[in-house]
Amino acid sequence: MCVTDFTCRLILAFWFVAGPAFALELEDQKFYPGTSDTVIKVISTGDLAVFEPFIQQFQSQNPTIGIDYYVTSSAELHTALKNGGVFDLAISSAMDLQFQLANDGAAQPVNSAMTDALPVWARWRNQVFAFTAEPAVAVISRERFAGLERPKTRQELIALLRQSPDVFENTIGTYDVRTSGLGYLFATQEARNSDTFWRLSELMGRRGTELYCCSAQMIDDVASGRLTLAYNVLGSYAAERIARDDRLEILELEDYATVMLRTALIPATAKQTQEATLLLDALLREGLRETPTVWALPPLGAADTPEARAYGPIRLGPALLVYLDKLNRDAFLRAWSDAMVQ
């Protein structure tokens, strides 16, 4: 996820062993040295600020292992591994792209006590493993929403957008699904399961919605007052920010929740497979936790909450490939652009 405009524009070229030279657009990168020369290369869509507590906890138990952590978009991650980029662990919020990588032979199987402990719905053929259940949420500015009744469903949100055009004109944000893998996943799953998606999209388009790459940027703009509403941001990022910023509020929409499973896989090109399995197991242990830890990301058990059961989680399986088919993707993006880009 992007943190600043500078990191969104940062482009570095790397030469990957046994792979071609190509430019990888990074949003951030940090090396966490260990006490030996062993280094796990991690490519991830997760912000450093979110994952650093987990990395530090892992290294406190495995001090010899260094971690080189690269942050990029889900599309860049997918392209890097598809083109033979050498990484030892890949972590992504775009579970459809992760599934496609495994389906195309770009992931290797892993068998451990922790992978076996996962629920069946949280793993695919011992190649793709879920470790969080994170809903998409709407975040609002308390100041800009002052005096407005909070909608409880998408139907009520649609009515509010119609009734208060002056409040929402050019002050709504959502993902640009043409470039955001997670945004595309949320949009296609919602369109598939809800008859309100296209009506809401058309109305948001008429209100001049701003399009974003990342949840963090949308949340920042709601906090600053630039946006009244950000739709379909990651709930985990929103909850962490709201805990320290009372300018924000999650809009509790009770009709359904789209719940993404954040997943990890060990690429076929991985060099440090044994150490990467240790890191993967640590992720899965966090995913199965029942008590709070230092980490803000919600465990898999969050999928069992009442609001999540109304719709999610999105399932790992071949159905994820439907909207990745070129013809289906092109048709969806045309319809989305007609509705949203006005």
pLDDT at residue 98 above 90?
Answer: yes
Reported confidence tier of residue 102, pLDDT bands at 50, 70, 90: very high
Task: Output the pLDDT for position 252.
Answer: 84
Rounded percentage of the chain residues whose pLDDT exceeds 90: 75
- Tell me the one-letter amino acid at 252: E
Give mean pLDDT, residues 178-198.
Answer: 93
**Both 246 and 336 in a single domain?**
yes
Assign residue 123 a region (left: φ > 0; alpha: ψ between -120 and 50; beta: otherwise).
beta
Distance CA 183, CA 22 (A): 25
**Both 203 and 330 in a single domain?**
yes
Examine residue 151 and state whether it is found in any structural domain, yes or no: yes
**Sign for the pseudo-dihedral over CA of 337, 338, 339, 341:** positive
Instruction: From 99, 51, 90, 97, select the one nearest 75 (Cα to Cα).
Output: 97
pLDDT in tens, 104-144: 999 999 999 999 999 999 999 999 999 999 999 999 999 99
> Which long-range contacts (C-beta less than 8 Å, at least 24 apart) are formed by 284-290?
284/114, 284/115, 284/117, 284/118, 284/129, 284/131, 285/114, 286/54, 286/131, 287/118, 287/122, 287/130, 287/131, 287/132, 288/114, 288/117, 288/118
What CATH number is given to the structural domain containing 86?
A: 3.40.190.10
pLDDT at residue 101 above 80?
Answer: yes
Judged on CB neighbours under 10 Å (0-12, 13-18, 19+), 14 is middle
**Both 113 and 44 in a single domain?**
yes
**Both 191 and 329 in a single domain?**
yes
Examine residue 116 and state whether it is found in any structural domain, yes or no: yes
**Both 265 and 253 in a single domain?**
no
**Both 254 and 266 in a single domain?**
no
**Both 255 and 301 in a single domain?**
no
Examine residue 316 and state whether it is found in any structural domain, yes or no: no
Q: Would you give the end-to-end CA distance of the chain in angstroms?
A: 26
User: Could you please report the per-residue DSSP string of 182-237?
Assistant: HHHHHHHHHHHH-TTHHHHHHHHHHTT-EEES-HHHHHHHHHHTS-SEEEEEEHHH
Asked whether 223 and 243 are in contact (CB, 8 A), the reply is: no
**Both 206 and 302 in a single domain?**
no
- Give the range among 226-235, 254-263, 310-319, 327-336 with minimum mean pLDDT: 310-319
Examine residue 1 and state whether it is found in any structural domain, yes or no: no
**Both 79 and 203 in a single domain?**
no
**Both 67 and 101 in a single domain?**
yes
pLDDT at residue 6 above 60?
Answer: no
Measured in whole angstroms, the distance separating CA 159 from the mean position of its chain's CA atoms is: 29
**Domain assignment of residue 229, given as a range:** 135-259+324-340
Reported confidence tier of residue 1, pLDDT bands at 50, 70, 90: very low
Instruction: From 261, 257, 260, select the one nearest 309 (Cα to Cα).
Output: 257
Task: Output the pLDDT for position 336.
Answer: 97
Examine residue 315 and state whether it is found in any structural domain, yes or no: no
Structural domain count of the chain: 2
Examine residue 280 and state whether it is found in any structural domain, yes or no: yes
**Both 161 and 284 in a single domain?**
no
**Both 145 and 187 in a single domain?**
yes
